[in-house]
Each structure stands twice: as structure tokens, then as C-alpha cells.
Amino acid sequence: MSKHQDHKEDINIGEAYSKAEKFLDQKKQPITIALGAIIVIVFGSFYYFSMYLPPLQKEAEQSVFQAQKAFAIDSFNLAMYGNEEIIGFEEIIDTYGSTTVGNTSKYYMAVSLMHTGSYDEAIEYYKSYSPEDHMTKALTQGGIGDCLVQLEAYDEAITSYEKAANAYVNDFSTPIYLKKGGIVAEKIGDYEKAVKFYQRIKTQYPDSQEGRDIEKYLAHAKSFIAK
């Protein structure tokens, strides 16, 4: 390589470093702000999940116990709103909403509202709840379906029951929600959809409680299609 080429490469490298320094100098403040934000997020997350949340979770677990006892004996208003002696699910959600107890309390609140006839509010709580496993996901969708039936929103109810049946496929809850979906489908005259639900129970869940008499429901729905 000639001295001319060496000199040219030295100039190019020098220009590159010069441009890089100029760029960093121009962007110094935004880069510093971005790095500062990352540090705040990292340490903030560490503090929140390692130091702030665990004691809050423990406090929530202690606070919710009495509301759960009231729920277990169907004292739904007491479970939801509490009294001078106990904290209800509503207050648990407001105070400990970021904890798993606060999240679970949304499900309890939804079920309690459904049992006391507040179906629109129940649906809102069902939707705000984040299911912790496939079974509670199925129960949540099924609960929404039950509320929609009471509100006479039958098409939406059928959709919710179908989601509930498929959220956690098993021998217990799946045939329950398939049968509910079929009954509501018959109610609005959609007998083909009803047959679809009933047939699935007959084929896949013949030994379930719903499967034992599903032939009767299947024959009834089919009789309307034949007409």
C-alpha cells in the first residue's frame, strides 16, 4: 500500500471519528435523558416488584379473608361492600388493585353482582378481571354469558358460551357451556347452531352429566330443522 493510500485512510478514519464526536455532542442531551429513563424504569421495576408489592400482597391477603367468608355463605352484599368490621371486595379492589388478591376480588365482585341482579356491572368486573388460569378464563366467559342471557342479549351470550367451552377444554365445564349455548340458540330459533353444540356433547362428552340426556335435546333441535 502506498503512502498516499495510507494518508487517505487516515483522513477517512479521522473524518469518521470527527462525525461521530459531532453526532454524540449534538445528541448528548437526548441520549442522557434516554439512559436516565432506562435506569429509572429498571430500578423502579425492581423496587415495585421486590420491595413494594410483596408486603402489599400480604396485607391484601389478610384483609380479604372476611369478605371471602361472607361470599362463601352467599352474603353477597356484605362480601361486596363490607361493613364497620370487615372490608368488602370493592374496597379491596380500590386499595390493592395491583395485587393478585385485588385481581381475584374483581372475579368475586362480578359473581356477587350477578347473583344480586346487577348484570351490566357484573360484566364490567368480569371483563376487568385477568384470568389466572384456563379454568377461570372459562368461568369468566361463562359468567359473562349468563349475564347476557339475563339481559336478553342472546347472540352475544351464545358467543360467550362458545368461548367458555373452548377456553379450557375438559369433561366438566366444556359440556356445561355447550349445552347452555345450545339452549340459548334454540331460544332464538337458531336450531342448526343448537344441533352443532349438542352434537359435540354427544360425540365428545357422552359420559358427562350433560351427555346422558343430550339425545333428547338433539332430537328436539333437529325436528325444527326438518320442518
Q: What is the pLDDT of residue 36?
A: 46
Going from N- to C-terminal start, the domains of the chain cover: 64-226
Which homologous superfamily is 64-226 in? Tetratricopeptide repeat domain (1.25.40.10)
pTM score of the predicted model: 0.76
User: What pLDDT score does 22 carry?
Assistant: 58
Torsion angle of C-alpha atoms 115, 121, 124, 126, degrees rounded to 10: -10
Is 78 strand, coil or helix?
Answer: helix
Q: C-alpha dihedral over 109, 115, 116, 121, to 10 degrees?
A: 50
Q: Are 123 and 148 in contact (CB under 8 A)?
A: yes
Residue pLDDT, tens place only, 172-207: 999 999 999 999 999 999 999 999 999 999 999 999
CB of 218 closer than 8 Å to CB of 198: yes
Q: pLDDT at position 184, please?
A: 98
| pLDDT mean values, one per 10 residues, the chain (227 residues) | 44 53 54 47 41 55 84 96 92 86 93 98 97 93 98 98 96 97 97 97 96 96 83
Rounded-to-integer distance, Cα 68 and Cα 74, Å = 10
User: What pLDDT does residue 96 have?
Assistant: 83
Instruction: For residue 38, give the C-alpha cell.
Output: 432506562
